[in-house]
């Protein structure tokens, strides 16, 4: 799999002409809403998948804890996706870090994620970044858009979807580190688990990094899922 950058990555948002749903079988409808011009839609989380989220939060908890003269409550070995699992004083430090205006600007991209994003767009499908902005962080929405544009290129800010409910998104797969993705809809996408210690028990297809092997796994899962949607 080469790492060339697809021209499609730089094109403006495409408008989709949908055929009348009354004329489509359910399988054709499922395919129609999970593809763009025949290309499968690939949804990809940011925090903990594209961005080094936990190390970024820890840098801030270290600073806040030091200012208060207390031990840093959070480590890279934190065992659960939910970070607020300590006593109220410790949780308050973590909450403050997660709402800190410097948080998103300070996050580093996961190793290999920039090249992998362009490769996915070139060789696998139409990629959209799907992320949740915490309502308690007043600058989260704009900071995430700024981060995406700065790290991946401004055209990718146009492919950023911020939502509190990823089950409402259309796609063939969703690459995400959250152990269980819940919401009000029954999603068409299949969850590809981005490995973290807190999701080790989650069933399903799993990738550990943004290596060539991981991209092959994503491509194979997309292909299989498209066939399943076709019924
Ligand atoms: Mg995440």
Tell whether the model's pLDDT for residue 25 goes beyond 90.
no
Lowest-pLDDT choice from 22-26, 97-101, 166-170: 22-26
Say what the pTM is: 0.88
CA distance 132 to 98: 13
How close is the Cα of 58 to the center of ligand 1, in Å? 15
Q: What is the pLDDT of residues 35-94, one digit of tens each?
A: 999 999 999 999 999 999 999 999 999 999 999 999 999 999 999 999 998 899 999 999
CA 47 / ligand 1 centre spacing (Å): 4
> Is the Cα dihedral 179, 43, 107, 145 positive or negative?
negative
Domain positions in the chain:
7-52+109-230, 53-105
pLDDT of 152 strictly over 60: yes
Q: Which fold would CATH assign to domain 7-52+109-230?
A: Rossmann fold (3.40.50)
Asked if residue 155 lies in contact with residue 138, where contact means CB atoms within 8 angstroms, the answer is no
pLDDT at 5 over 60: no
* Cα-to-centroid distance, 131 and ligand 1 (Å): 7
Quote the CA–CA distance of 116 and 60 in Å, as a whole number.
28
Q: Which of 7-16, 91-100, 131-140 has the lowest mean pLDDT?
A: 7-16
Number of CB atoms found within 10 A of residue 35's CB: 19
Q: Summarize pLDDT for 158-169 with one digit per residue, the tens.
A: 999 999 999 999
pLDDT tier for residue 22 given thresholds of 50, 70 and 90: low
Dist. CA 219 → ligand 1 center (Å):
20
Q: pLDDT higher for 81 or 221?
A: 221
pLDDT above 80 for 14: no
pLDDT at 86: 87
The yes-or-no verdict on residue 2 having pLDDT over 50 is no
Q: In which band, very low, low, confident or very high, does the pLDDT at 3 lie, cut at 50, 70 and 90?
A: very low
Would strands 39-44 and 173-176 be described as parallel, antiparallel, or unpaired? parallel
CA of 176 to the centre of ligand 1 (A): 6
* pLDDT of 199: 96
Query: Given a cut of 90, is residue 10 above it in pLDDT?
Result: no
From the list 112, 94, 111, the residue with the least C-alpha distance to 103 is: 94
Mean pLDDT (the chain) is 90
pLDDT value of residue 11:
54
> Which of 24-28, 123-127, 153-157 shows the highest mean pLDDT?
123-127
Query: What is the set of active-site residues?
Result: 45, 47
pLDDT of residue 168: 96
Confidence of residue 188 (pLDDT cuts 50, 70, 90): very high
């Amino acid at each position: 799999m080469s790492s060339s950058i697809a021209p499609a990555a730089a094109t403006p948002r495409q408008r989709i002409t949908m055929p009348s749903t009354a004329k489509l079988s359910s399988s054709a409808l499922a395919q129609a809403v999970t593809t763009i011009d025949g290309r499968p839609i690939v949804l990809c989380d940011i925090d903990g998948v594209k961005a080094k989220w936990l190390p970024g939060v820890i840098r801030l908890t270290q600073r806040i804890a030091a200012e208060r003269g207390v031990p840093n409550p959070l480590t890279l070995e934190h065992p659960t996706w939910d970070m607020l699992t300590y006593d109220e004083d410790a949780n308050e430090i973590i909450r403050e870090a997660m709402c800190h205006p410097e948080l998103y600007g300070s996050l580093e991209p996961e190793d290999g994620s920039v090249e992998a994003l362009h490769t996915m767009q070139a060789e696998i499908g139409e990629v959209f970044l799907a992320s949740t902005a915490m309502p308690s962080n007043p600058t989260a929405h704009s900071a995430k858009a700024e981060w995406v544009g700065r790290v991946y290129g401004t055209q990718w800010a146009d492919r950023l979807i911020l939502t509190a409910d990823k089950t409402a998104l259309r796609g063939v797969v969703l690459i995400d580190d959250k152990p269980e993705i819940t919401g009000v809809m029954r999603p068409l996408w299949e969850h590809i688990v981005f490995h973290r210690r807190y999701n080790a028990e989650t069933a399903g297809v799993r990738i550990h990094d943004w290596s060539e092997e991981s991209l092959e796994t994503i491509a194979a899962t997309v292909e299989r899922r498209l066939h399943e949607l076709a019924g």
